[in-house]
Structure 1
Amino acid sequence: MSSQNGYVLTHFTDFYFVGKSIRTSNETAETDIGNFWAQFLQQNWIEQVEHKSGNRILGLYYDYEGDFTKPYSFAIGCRVDNIDVVPEGLIALKIPASNYAEFIARGKMPDCIIDTWVDIWNSDIDRSYTFDLEAYSPDSFVSEDAHVEIFISTK
């Protein structure tokens, strides 16, 4: 891993993801994604997921129509060991191996996430716009001092 401009370059091998998805754009994302997280915290659909790999909750950005100014899909879910069983109403995706720029969002939720995304949009990263993800520990959602890793797929 190498560090530059406030982020660290890293690599992930491919993995499976199961969760629930919405379509949005940055014009309405703050409300759309905020409401989607509220729905998740109320319904906790991850409890239905079998074969979870760890206890981290992922926010996944994918299916971009272009760059970050165009519509994209956003999903909330988790890594799983396999996708043999996918609960009704949820989606399963295989996230391909890729290089990522890792940012750390620290502070009060959700402000620290929004501030970090603004930094990402203003960065010099050569983004691939395939799969970007936020990795939350279970206590991130109730913390005034959250620590969330954000991984941006790079070319």
Structure 2
Amino acid sequence: MSSQANYLLTHFSDFLFVGKSIRTSNETAETDIGNFWIQYIKEKWLNSVEYKTDEKVIGLYYNYEGDFTKPYTFAIGCKVDRIDNIPEGMISLNIPASNYAEFIAKGKMPECVIDTWVDIWNSDLDRTYTFDMEVYSPQSFNPENAHVEIFISVK
């Protein structure tokens, strides 16, 4: 059954990304990605990244083996102006320009983000399965009243 989730269409120019990544699938993603966020919060690995464009943290989904039911790579990182000096253990990616459907997850973490993803999976979006993003500004990390922008690459 298909539902119509609320979203806005937007376009991003290409940008550079630096972060750390893991391989997962939706079968184990809640645990895998949850533990990865805990590791990020504990280690604060973005503190060592140079040339950040802003203070936003990006949860990046890419390298899909198919649709959302198949394995993919998840990374936590940020936009940067240059990738001259990437910290050890991190990856850099050039994210191409693309059209996105923008969703807003609001409320208690992590439920609001999970619920928004369920809406996305149940929607009739014409997804490209290239790069999808959760964008966290500093106020996104309020556990009781989060505001997270989720961008899904679309045709």
Task: Give SS of 2:100's match.
Answer: strand
Q: State the match for 1:35 in structure 2.
A: 35
Task: Give SS of 2:69's match.
Answer: coil
Deviation sequence 1:60-99 (CA, Å, 0-9, x none) = 0000000000000000000000111100000000000000
TM-score norm. by structure 1 comes to: 0.96
Q: State the match for 1:83 in structure 2.
A: 83
Task: Give SS of 2:17's match.
Answer: strand
Q: State the match for 1:26 in structure 2.
A: 26
* In 1: Cα distance, 2:37 partner to 2:141 partner: 10
Contact 2:56 2:135 in 1 (8 A): yes
* In 2: Cα distance, 1:141 partner to 1:20 partner: 19
Q: State the match for 1:103 in structure 2.
A: 103
Task: Output the amino acid matched with 1:97.
Answer: A
* In 1: Cα distance, 2:5 partner to 2:64 partner: 24
Deviation sequence 1:86-143 (CA, Å, 0-9, x none) = 0000000000000000000000000000000000000110000000000001232233
TM-score norm. by structure 2 comes to: 0.96
**Count of matched residue pairs:** 152
1:52 aligns with 2:52: yes
Runs of 4+ in 1 over 4 A off after TM superposition: none
* In 2: Cα distance, 1:95 partner to 1:85 partner: 18
* Structure 1 range deviating more: 79-88 or 138-147: 138-147
Q: State the match for 2:140 in structure 1.
A: 140
Task: Give SS of 1:41's match.
Answer: helix
Structure 1 residues not aligned, in runs of 5+: none
Task: Output the amino acid matched with 1:68.
Answer: F
Identity %: 72
Task: Give SS of 1:83's match.
Answer: coil
Structure 2 residues not aligned, in runs of 5+: none
Contact 2:5 2:119 in 1 (8 A): no
* In 2: Cα distance, 1:151 partner to 1:5 partner: 13
Q: State the match for 2:150 in structure 1.
A: 150
* In 1: Cα distance, 2:70 partner to 2:113 partner: 19
